[in-house]
Structure 1
Amino acid sequence: MSTGTLYLIPNTLGDGDEAALAYVLPAPVRERAGTLASYIGENAKTTRAFLKRVGTTRPIQEIEIHELNVNTPAGEIDKLLKPLLGGIDTGLVSEAGVPAVADPGALLVRRAHERGIKVVPLVGPSSILLALMASGLNGQSFAFHGYLPVDANERIKKLRELEQTSRKAKQTQIFIETPYRNKSMLDTLLSTCAPSTLVCVAADLTLPTETILSRAVSDWKKKPTPDLHKRPAIFLLLAH
């Protein structure tokens, strides 16, 4: 028996109606997502909510949904591949944005390749790339670092390292923060980095409240900072 195909299904970057869904997910992606009988998601409840918004060709309760998140032991990955190995096409969906990028699905995709399962990525929004596109910073060389240290001193140390790397390699440095700590992150950025370092903050990407600001640190300090509290945001810096 041939194996099924693992489809990497993008999600929206925030809540919205069908019009918002159509804005960020092409019709062929929505159609494919609606036909699959098997899904792997970070949370079964939110995966069902996504499928309800997309629209499915079968009752949602008949769709098999398995969870893969940061608490899933590595040894459980192969169990998640069983439907695929049995010939059933399966979707991997993230809570927001594209699967397997800043997302626990990467190990599943790797194992799928190792087991000879076809992997098909579908088009959708990536907050990391959208922020880079809109930043005006170097899009030829960049690095994504995920979350920076929570400890204040360690965070400052890490930011100085990133700024030094950026200056030496002329490379954009990209990272994220837990939404309720966004203000603290921006304040630390502006107090740590050199006046000439470019800093971009992109919040609520693709949503009606989208905010994208890109300025030198010295200019950030001259203007009011946006309210970023509990808003999903991407931070970027480029040192000269």
Structure 2
Amino acid sequence: MPAPGALYLVPAPLDFGCTTPVPLQQVMPGGTIEVAARITHWIAENARTARAYLKRVGEIVPLAQPLQAMAVVELPREVHKKGDHAGGFDARPLLAPALEGHDIGLVSEAGMPAVADPGSSVVRAAHQLGIRVVPLVGPVSLLLALAASGLNGQSFAFVGYLPQQPGPRSQRIRELESLALRTGQTQLFIETPYRNAALWQALLQTLRGDTRLGLASGLTLPGEHVASRPVAQWKREAGGPPSDTPAVFLIGP
């Protein structure tokens, strides 16, 4: 029996859906690009965007195989649409090539797979099967936003998406603000870009004036914007998140 391959967690650049991609060398370490170039088996959130990413990798480091020969398996739709962080999906069959000795790359559409993106089920399955898990270095929007916010980086929580309906959304905002002010723990969350404006207005209307609100959008992109201010100051100034760019929102004392 061959020795098992490894599962590599391969970050992707944060320019997914943007008109102009960022040069890969500016946001991805050379070592990560080299590892990605030699992997021939992939588990992806979306096969088409994974191949587009690998094409960019191949323009820097020659791929071990032509794109058409790459084995790219998509996570089931219910996994990458609803998430797999809470369990319930058995990803062990997807890792069969690793048991045959092949390294496998796990990739999402942007950032680090399994962090605010699908992939946790695959990582859990690798541990169950005794397959080595290797996280590679690359952009993670949540940590970039936290570091740039000036909020508490010693205690923080990512809480995913807030409710879409106005009433439950405002209630959730108040809950997160109370937790942040009581414990000092920074609360991070995200939203689908076209709903950024609605979430922003709800934050300004619901949060206390002295609560600090951080906003980080377009991270690593030419139009990157990061700001962190008390809500009262945000209300006096024009601005807010764009409706076509992913953003990270942060609440803290």
Instruction: Tell me which of 180, 189, 197 is aligned to 2:211.
Output: 197
Mapped partners of 1:6, 1:110: distance in 2: 11
1:121-176 C-alpha deviation (Å, 9 max, x unpaired) = 00000000000000011101100001011111000000000000001111100000
Q: Which residue of 2 aligns with 1:52?
A: 55
1:33 aligns with 2:33: no
Mapped partners of 1:54, 1:125: distance in 2: 15
Query: Would you say the 8 A contact 2:241–2:247 is kept in 1?
Result: no
1:184 aligns with 2:198: yes
SS at match of 1:194: coil
List, as ranges, runs of 4+ consecutive aligned residues in structure 1 with deviation greater than 2 Å.
Answer: 72-76
Alpha-carbon shift at residue 75 of structure 1 (Å) = 4.8
Instruction: Tell me which of 65, 68, 74 is aligned to 2:75.
Output: 68
Alpha-carbon shift at residue 226 of structure 1 (Å) = 3.4
TM-score calculated relative to the size of structure 2: 0.91
1:146 aligns with 2:149: no
Mapped partners of 1:139, 1:24: distance in 2: 22
**Length, aligned pairs only:** 238
Mapped partners of 2:241, 2:27: distance in 1: 25
SS at match of 2:233: helix
1:114 aligns with 2:128: yes
Instruction: Tell me which of 109, 116, 125 is aligned to 1:102.
Output: 116
1:223 aligns with 2:237: yes
Mapped partners of 1:100, 1:236: distance in 2: 20
Alpha-carbon shift at residue 180 of structure 1 (Å) = 0.3
Query: How much is the aligned-residue C-alpha RMSD, in angstroms?
Result: 1.4
Mapped partners of 1:75, 1:159: distance in 2: 30
Q: Which residue of 2 aligns with 1:12?
A: 13
Query: Would you say the 8 A contact 1:4–1:88 is kept in 2?
Result: yes
Query: Would you say the 8 A contact 1:69–1:104 is kept in 2?
Result: no
1:67-109 C-alpha deviation (Å, 9 max, x unpaired) = 0155249555122111111111010011000011011101110
Mapped partners of 1:133, 1:232: distance in 2: 17
1:174-199 C-alpha deviation (Å, 9 max, x unpaired) = 00011001011111101100000000
SS at match of 1:80: helix
Go from structure 1 to structure 2 and tell me whether the alpha carbon gap of 1:107 and 1:76 turns closer, same or farther (over 3 Å shift): closer
Q: Which residue of 2 aligns with 1:86?
A: 100
Query: Would you say the 8 A contact 1:11–1:98 is kept in 2?
Result: yes
Q: Which amino acid aligns with 2:23?
A: A
Query: Would you say the 8 A contact 1:131–1:202 is kept in 2?
Result: yes
Mapped partners of 2:182, 2:76: distance in 1: 36
SS at match of 1:81: helix
TM-score calculated relative to the size of structure 1: 0.95
Mapped partners of 1:42, 1:217: distance in 2: 36
Query: Would you say the 8 A contact 2:90–2:125 is kept in 1?
Result: no
Q: Percent identity?
A: 49
